[in-house]
C-alpha cells in the first residue's frame, strides 16, 4: 500500500478547503520545500518569517507536485491540482490525523526534554527485529514535522515511531491527537525551553498531555532515574514500564566495561533474563536511551537476547555522538547537534575514563531563560573538575560565564562569539593522542568546528 493516497477532492474535503484547480491525479506524500518535491506529492505552501512558499508553487509543480495546498490564490499550472485553505498549517494537521486514523499498526511516541532523537532511532532499530518500521526523520518532531512524517509514512508497517517535541505551552495538545500513540517512551525532564515554563513540573505536565490522546491500554516506558517521571500518574489501564540502569527497573542495563568513546559493553536485564552486548555509541546516557528502546521492544514480546543483539544495529545520528579518528591518534567526539545542562555533564563526565588528555569546544546552551547564567557557570566548573585540559567557549553571555568559571582552574581558556574566531586557538591546544569534545546548542553551529578539524587533521 505504501503512503496513503488522496484525490484532490479528498484533500479538499479533509483539509476543509476549496478546489482552485481540479485534477484527476492521485496525490501521495507531502513536501514543505519545493526543492524536495517528488512526482505525485502534495506541496504545502508555508509562509515563514523570511520565505513564503507561495512564491515557489510554480517550481514545485515543475518538479512534479500533483497538488498545491495554499492559503492565498495563486496561478496553478495546467495539470496540477490546487486547494485553497484558511491555514496551511492547520490543513496539514487535518490530513495527518486522517492518515493516523486509518493506520492499524502500533504507534510509539518518544517524548522528553533530551535524548528523544537518539531514543527514537534506537527504538526503531529494536522494533525492526520484530517487523517493519517507519520513523520520524531526524528530529522532525514539531507541528510541521509530525504531519510531514505521517503523510509520508508507509501504511503497511507494523510500527510507526514518532518523536514529539514541544517548546511552548499548548503544543502537545495539538501534537498528541495527530499521533494517538499506542505506547509512549518518556526520556527525562530537564531545564530546556525554561523561558516559556515556570518550573520543571510545568514542562513535565505539558509533555504528559500526550497521554490524553494515547490509545487505551497502551504502555508508558518511564525513566526510573527521573523523579518527575517514575511516579507519573497514568491513565487507567496503562501499562507502566520503568527502565533505567539499576535493578529497581523492569528493564535495566548495566555497563560491564570501562567508558569508551566508541561504545560501551553492557548486560541487559529484562523479564527475568539477561544478555550481553555492545552499544557502538558512547556514553552511559546512551545506555539509558537504549534501555528505553528495549522497554518498547519488551512490551511487544522481544526477549533479552534479541534486544541485546539489536544494539549492534545502532549508530549515532549525525553530530550526535559521532567519533572520528584524526591524524596523530587524535579522537574527535562530535556531539554538536544540541546541548542542555544534563547532556553536557553526561558527556564531560564520560571523558574522565578515556585515558587521554581531553580539550573541549563547548557552545552556549540556548533557551535556558533566567537560569542561563547559573547553568553556564556550573558547567564551566564541571568542565574544570572533569579535567579538561583547555576550553574554547563559544557564544554570548552564557559562554562568557562558562569561560570565566573554568578560568579558576588555571588552564587555558578562550571565549569567542563565533567558532571561526577560536578554531585556530583550539587547534593549537591539541596534542598527539588527545581527545576533543565538541558540543553546544544547535544555534551556535559547532558542527563547523568538527568539519574544520576533520578537514585540517584528516580522518
pLDDT digits (tens, 9 = 90+) for 191-221: 877 778 999 999 999 999 999 999 999 999 9
Q: Are 86 and 256 in contact (CB under 8 A)?
A: no
Decide if domain 322-457 falls under CATH 3.90.190.20: yes
In the chain, where are the structural domains located? Answer: 5-88, 103-313, 322-457
| Position 3 pLDDT exceeds 70 | yes
What is the Cα–Cα distance from 236 to 389, expressed in whole angstroms? Answer: 52
Give the pLDDT band of residue 445 (cuts 50, 70, 90).
very high
What percent of the chain clears pLDDT 90, i.e. is strictly above it?
84
Angle 146-147-149 from CA coordinates, rounded to 5°: 65
What is the dotted CATH code of the domain comprising 5-88? 3.40.1390.10
What percent of the chain clears pLDDT 70, i.e. is strictly above it?
100
Q: Name the CATH architecture for the domain at 103-313.
A: 3-Layer(aba) Sandwich (3.40)
> What sections of 233-323 are H helices per DSSP?
284-299, 304-310
Q: Give CA 38 to chain center in angstroms.
A: 25
pLDDT digits (tens, 9 = 90+) for 16-74: 999 999 999 999 999 999 999 999 999 999 998 889 999 999 999 999 999 999 999 99
What is the Cα–Cα distance from 425 to 452, expressed in whole angstroms? Answer: 13
Report pLDDT for 262.
81
pLDDT (mean) for 290-318: 94
| Position 121 pLDDT exceeds 80 | yes
CATH topology agreement for domains 5-88 and 322-457:
no
Q: Are 46 and 75 in contact (CB under 8 A)?
A: no
Helices 171-179 & 88-102 angle (0-180, nearest 10): 40
Q: Are 282 and 264 in contact (CB under 8 A)?
A: yes
Report pLDDT for 177.
97
Strands (E), 287-389: 322-326, 330-335, 358-363
Collapsed DSSP state (helix, strand, coil) of residue 139: coil
Give the pLDDT band of residue 339 (cuts 50, 70, 90).
confident
Collapsed DSSP state (helix, strand, coil) of residue 292: helix
Report pLDDT for 1.
66
Report pLDDT for 172.
97
pLDDT (mean) for 296-313: 96
Q: Which residues pair with 163 in a beta bridge?
A: 110
10 Å Cβ neighbour count for 207? 26
Task: For residue 173, give the C-alpha cell.
Answer: 495538545
**Mean predicted lDDT score pLDDT of the chain:** 94
Nearest to 136 by CA among 126, 147, 127: 147
The structure's pTM equals: 0.86
pLDDT (mean) for 441-449: 94
Distances (CA, A) of 456 to 228, 329, 423, 453: 45, 14, 11, 5
pLDDT (mean) for 317-326: 87
Amino acid at each position: 500500500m505504501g503512503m496513503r493516497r488522496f484525490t484532490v477532492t479528498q484533500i479538499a474535503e479533509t483539509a476543509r478547503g476549496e478546489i482552485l484547480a481540479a485534477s484527476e491525479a492521485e496525490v501521495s506524500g507531502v513536501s514543505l520545500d519545493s526543492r524536495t518535491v517528488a512526482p505525485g506529492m502534495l506541496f504545502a505552501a508555508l509562509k515563514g518569517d523570511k520565505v513564503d512558499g507561495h512564491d515557489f508553487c510554480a517550481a514545485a509543480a515543475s518538479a512534479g507536485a500533483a497538488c498545491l495546498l495554499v492559503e492565498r490564490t495563486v496561478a496553478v499550472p495546467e495539470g496540477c491540482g490546487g486547494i485553497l485553505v484558511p491555514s496551511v498549517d492547520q490543513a496539514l494537521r487535518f490530513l495527518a490525523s486522517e492518515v493516523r486514523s486509518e493506520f492499524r499498526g502500533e504507534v510509539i511516541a518518544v517524548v522528553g526534554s533530551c535524548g528523544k532523537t537518539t531514543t527514537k532511532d534506537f527504538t526503531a532499530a529494536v522494533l525492526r527485529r520484530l517487523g517493519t518500521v517507519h520513523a520520524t526523520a531526524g528530529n522532525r518532531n514539531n507541528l510541521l514535522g509530525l504531519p510531514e512524517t505521517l503523510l509520508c509514512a508507509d501504511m503497511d508497517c507494523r510500527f510507526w515511531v514518532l518523536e514529539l517535541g514541544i517548546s511552548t505551552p499548548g503544543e502537545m495538545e495539538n501534537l498528541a491527537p495527530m499521533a494517538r500513540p499506542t505506547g509512549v517512551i518518556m526520556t527525562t525532564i530537564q531545564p530546556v525551553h525554561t523561558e516559556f515554563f515556570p518550573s520543571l513540573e510545568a514542562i513535565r505536565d505539558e509533555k504528559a498531555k500526550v497521554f490524553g490522546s494515547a490509545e487505551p491500554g497502551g504502555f508508558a516506558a518511564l525513566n526510573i532515574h527521573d523523579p518527575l517521571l517514575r511516579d507519573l500518574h497514568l491513565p487507567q489501564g496503562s501499562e507502566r514500564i520503568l527502565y533505567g540502569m539499576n535493578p529497581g527497573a523492569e528493564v535495566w542495563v548495566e555497563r560491564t566495561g570501562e567508558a569508551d568513546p566508541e561504545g560501551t559493553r553492557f548486560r541487559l536485564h529484562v523479564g527475568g533474563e539477561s544478555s550481553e552486548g555492545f552499544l557502538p555509541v558512547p556514553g552511559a546516557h546512551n545506555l539509558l536511551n537504549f534501555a528505553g528502546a528495549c522497554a518498547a521492544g519488551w512490551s511487544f514480546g522481544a526477549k533479552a537476547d534479541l534486544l541485546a543483539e539489536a544494539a549492534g544495529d545502532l549508530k549515532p545520528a549525525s553530530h550526535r555522538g559521532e567519533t572520528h579518528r584524526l591524524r596523530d591518534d587524535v579522537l574527535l567526539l562530535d556531539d554538536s547537534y544540541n546541548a542542555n545542562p544534563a547532556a553536557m555533564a553526561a558527556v564531560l563526565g564520560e571523558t574522565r575514563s578515556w585515558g587521554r588528555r581531553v580539550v573541549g569546544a563547548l557552545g552556549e546552551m540556548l533557551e535556558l531563560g533566567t537560569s542561563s547564567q547559573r547553568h553556564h557557570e556550573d558547567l564551566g566548573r564541571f568542565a574544570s573538575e572533569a579535567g579538561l585540559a583547555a576550553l574554547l567557549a563559544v557564544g554570548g553571555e552564557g559562554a562568557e560565564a562558562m569561560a570565566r568559571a573554568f578560568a579558576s582552574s588555571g588552564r587555558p581558556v578562550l571565549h569567542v562569539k563565533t567558532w571561526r574566531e577560536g578554531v585556530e586557538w583550539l587547534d593549537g591546544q591539541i596534542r598527539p593522542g588527545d581527545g576533543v569534545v565538541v558540543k553546544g546548542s544547535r544555534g551556535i553551529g559547532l558542527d563547523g568546528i568538527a568539519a574544520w578539524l576533520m578537514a585540517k587533521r584528516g580522518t
